[in-house]
Structure 1
Amino acid sequence: MGFSLQPLFLAIISLLMISALTRSSEGAGIAVYWGQNGNEGSLEGACRSGNYDYVNIAFLVSFGSGQTPELNLAGHCIPSPCTFLSSEIEVCQSLGIKVFLSLGGSSPGQGRGQILASPEDARDVAAYLWNNYLGGQSDSRPLGAAVLDGIDFDIEYGSNLYWDVLAEALFNYSTAERKVYLSAAPQCPIPDGYLDTAIQTGFFDYVWVQFYNNAPCQYTSGDPSKLFASWDQWASYTGVNTLFLGLPAAEAAAPSGGYIPPEVLVEQILPVVQSYPKYGGVMLWSRYYDQNYSTAIRPYVNGDPLTCTTKSVKKSHAVA
């Protein structure tokens, strides 16, 4: 033949490189928590970084059991309402990013309201969330008129009762026109002490497990075996639909360990977890700590298309 394949080859390589750096709504993605440090920049800035596919606004710290709902966004707006965020939420959504409200918190102070008194209380909380943050109607929407995509459960204190009822009630607000997405952020030990029953309902679209601050199931320097063993369990756990690897974005983000340097994540961890059908991506705590971490791993979250690394790696690691 009289033509050269080199221009075609170069064009294909260019397209592959572009696809590695571009978010794919159908592929794996990165989730991040935003809202717990006033120095982390704006919500719109996080979304315009191009590094995230899901943003959890953290946290609604009090709700249920007759308490007045309390939104705590640290230095961003105290007290709520934070209605100025409405336009920023809509910018995020226009970029294809799903925005969630996260319930709970990671300290006893934040978690003081993480108690549902009864099934009726759970359904009342669902109605409150629907009307004030999702597709319902209220005169006092704390984040303004913007309609969030879903609700995240980050329950780490309080009671383990009726979270399944809350998940079902929220799930039932979905319509053909607008789906209410649900996510959960359990600790990596199985079963999770608070969300286990809820997760097993299968109502959660995404489960981003916290593989940090938990010695029995997190990465330690040079040893991924505990992490792999836990991931293997979660990947076959009842009710888990799409599984994310939840990690700290810096060593300071996880005082009790679990930080994985980005080069180790890319070279040793992602090729293994991506070989599981339920792999959905990486969750990071948090935007404040994420200085360059998401930038470093972004091209590899879906696998490196130039080497097809994740397609060739098999689950040959020890999980015992």
Structure 2
Amino acid sequence: MAIKSAISFAFISSLILVLVSGTNAGDIAIYRGQNRNEGTLAETCATGNYGFVNLAFLPTFGNGQTPMINLAGHCDPYSNGCTNLSSDIRSCQAKGIKVMLSIGGGAGYYLASSHDDRQVATYLWNNFLGGQSVSRSFGNAILDGIDFNIKGGTNQHWDDLARYRFGYSKHGDTKVYLTAAPQCPFPDAWVGGALKIGLFYYVWVQFYNNPTCQCTAGLPASPEAAVADLSLYLISLLKYFLPSMLWSRYYDDQSGYSSAIKSYV
């Protein structure tokens, strides 16, 4: 499957908009999980603004490590406290919203070999997707896919992980999505090789923290000013690049940006 192309813009406040070409209109993807003041997952989906919710992050995995999610105070994975999210996840999915697990983010992950990749893929399948495990982080809720938000470790073996992960999706009747969020310099230093294999359904390119390609000149310095000014700039592009992705639910809640662009996507 061909990789969908993408372009994005960023607020200085870290509110990120990624517009993806060649997809169905009407879907806004949001990253959620790294700010405890962003409300519940059920509240996120109840806004009616989002088609995808990326739960961020699973930052610890690979190289013999015990995988561990980190949702920044929303729940305690060490006491199985995140299983309480299962009802919220199913509530989102009942509304037609795809709920994804985003792996990576900050430091802590490392793939040592193709054997390591297979173990991680098996873990993801059994603990978050259609497999079975006695220690499923989100209980019996089955997520819709895996998002690769890779910014560390090495650039090796991510293609193998995608292949193994995609292979497991053939065991069930439900479509399992693979998405990725590479940095804007091409090819991406971490997952550039993995993107070449053509297994990712959506690619959200991150045009921020990269001076050579980030869009900052002339943009407002605060989210309060950004909604009106940046929306006018982007609306003319939305008919060419759909849908959109935002970082993050907290910043979107502060700015109201998804509400401002919803009718255009």
TM-score class, shorter-chain normalisation, is 0.7 to 0.9
1:77 Cα deviation after fit: 1.1
Cross-structure match for 1:73:
71
1:177 Cα deviation after fit: 1.3
Secondary structure, counterpart of 1:173 in structure 2: helix
* 1:35-184 matches, cutoff 5 A: 35-80=33-78, 81=80, 82-105=82-105, 107=106, 111-113=107-109, 115-175=110-170, 177-184=173-180
Secondary structure, counterpart of 1:148 in structure 2: coil
Question: Measured at CA, do residues 218 and 264 of structure 1 come closer, stay the same or move farther in structure 2, by a change above 3 Å?
Answer: farther
Tell me the distance in 1 between the aligned counterparts of 2:225 and 2:179: 23
1:268 Cα deviation after fit: 2.6
Larger Rg over CA atoms: 1
**Residues 243-266 of structure 1, C-alpha deviation per residue, up to 9 Å, x if partnerless?**
xxxxxxx9579xxxxx99333443
Tell me the distance in 1 between the aligned counterparts of 2:141 and 2:39: 20
Cross-structure match for 1:7:
none
Amino acid at match of 1:269: L
Q: Following superposition, which runs of at least 4 residues in structure 1 exceed 6 angstroms of deviation?
A: none
TM-score normalised by structure 2 residue count: 0.84
Question: Measured at CA, do residues 63 and 260 of structure 1 come closer, stay the same or move farther in structure 2, by a change above 3 Å?
Answer: farther
Cross-structure match for 2:233:
268
CA RMSD after TM alignment: 2.2
Indicate conservation of the 8 Å contact 1:170/1:180, yes or no. Answer: no
Secondary structure, counterpart of 2:236 in structure 1: helix
1:96 Cα deviation after fit: 0.5
Tell me the distance in 2 between the aligned counterparts of 1:298 and 1:199: 29
**Residues 187-216 of structure 1, C-alpha deviation per residue, up to 9 Å, x if partnerless?**
111111101011111111010111122222
Cross-structure match for 2:251:
289
1:280 Cα deviation after fit: 3.4
Amino acid at match of 1:101: L
Cross-structure match for 1:8:
none
Tell me the distance in 1 between the aligned counterparts of 2:56 and 2:245: 14
TM-score normalised by structure 1 residue count: 0.70
Indicate conservation of the 8 Å contact 2:179/2:200, yes or no. Answer: yes
**Residues 106-128 of structure 1, C-alpha deviation per residue, up to 9 Å, x if partnerless?**
x3xxx222x11101110110010
Amino acid at match of 1:37: N
Question: Measured at CA, do residues 93 and 210 of structure 1 come closer, stay the same or move farther in structure 2, by a change above 3 Å?
Answer: same
* 1:15-54 matches, cutoff 5 A: 26-54=24-52
Question: Measured at CA, do residues 300 and 122 of structure 1 come closer, stay the same or move farther in structure 2, by a change above 3 Å?
Answer: same
Indicate conservation of the 8 Å contact 1:39/1:75, yes or no. Answer: no
**Residues 276-312 of structure 1, C-alpha deviation per residue, up to 9 Å, x if partnerless?**
xxx33211111111121111111112xxxxxxxxxxx
Q: Which has the higher contact order (CA 8 A, sep 6+)?
A: 2
Amino acid at match of 1:204: F
Amino acid at match of 1:86: S
Cross-structure match for 2:18:
none
1:178 Cα deviation after fit: 1.1
1:28 Cα deviation after fit: 4.1
Tell me the distance in 1 between the aligned counterparts of 2:225 and 2:216: 8
Tell me the distance in 1 between the aligned counterparts of 2:65 and 2:212: 35
* Percentage identity across paired residues of the two chains: 54
2:264 equivalent to 1:300: yes
Question: Measured at CA, do residues 214 and 195 of structure 1 come closer, stay the same or move farther in structure 2, by a change above 3 Å?
Answer: same
Q: Which runs of 5+ in 1 are unaligned?
A: 1-24, 224-249, 254-258, 302-320
